[in-house]
Amino acid sequence: MNKCFKKYALLFVASVVMCSVACKKDNKSDDPGGGGGGTGLVIEAKDVIDSDDKIAIVEAYCFEYYSADWSTIAKGKYENDGFKLTLSGTLNSKYLYGIIEELDEWAIISHPNAKIGGVSGFAALDRDNNEIGEFYCFGETDNGWIGILYLYADRDFTLKGSYTYEDDDWYEVETYDCAFKKGWNAMYSIEEYYDEGDVFILTTKKPSGVIFEWYYYDDWWEYDRKMSATGLRDKLSGKMPHPAKR
């Protein structure tokens, strides 16, 4: 397993989408947080940036890792430049994956048999039920960006650890700092870029002072070219087709 594969393995397991570019606006999004203890999770998007009046329906979908298939797990109307979806309090086992199978040797997991799954994406459909785009939620920092990942855990467990790679003129720091509760959780993917190196953090602790905004993109492939994480995800998965292309 090469270094790039290791860096994004957990993101691939979660089958979630992240973004590395944004334009600052004043539209603010509520962070839904995590629904531990087997409770459902309400995801609400308000004042979606670059909204389109052709959007009629929003679907949250999951990727079935072993069968390489996609399924809708929540569906709702799109109105007033926003949507509200409620994820069930339980997630079918076919969407869950053994987390330890993809972890680095420096990662410490409290329950090696723990399994997770995640919302793979949020699809925008028109009135004829055709997929026309995707929604993404993220926030900017001074040196990078933060994506929200909606993950389901089959038990309480912690994931900790940190690794630093250094050479003469470059460094990379990777850190896991997660405490999952059984049920739905919000995990934050933090990437920061500096002249001398990069910092990559996965944490269940909500970063302070960050405004999370929802964005709509009607061109998946154009958006995909802008995303380092999603581009790598496609490579790891053998360029699996996006649901709009299936």
Asked if residue 141 has pLDDT above 50, the reply is yes
Q: Give the pLDDT of residue 220.
A: 54
Residue pair 148/188 in contact (Cβ under 8 Å)? The answer is yes
Residue 170 φ/ψ, nearest 5 degrees? -155, 150
Residue 57 pLDDT level (bands cut at 50, 70, 90): very high
Lowest mean pLDDT, pick from 18-27, 63-72, 235-244: 18-27
Distance CA 109, CA 100 (A): 8
Q: Which amino acid is at 112?
A: P
Residue 63 pLDDT level (bands cut at 50, 70, 90): confident
Query: What is the pTM for the complete model shown?
Result: 0.76
Asked if residue 86 has pLDDT above 60, the reply is yes
Residue 183 pLDDT level (bands cut at 50, 70, 90): very high
| Full domain range(s) for residue 33 | 3-245
Asked if residue 225 has pLDDT above 70, the reply is no
Asked if residue 65 has pLDDT above 80, the reply is no
Angle between helices 228-236 and 3-14 (to 10 degrees): 90
- Domain count within the chain: 1
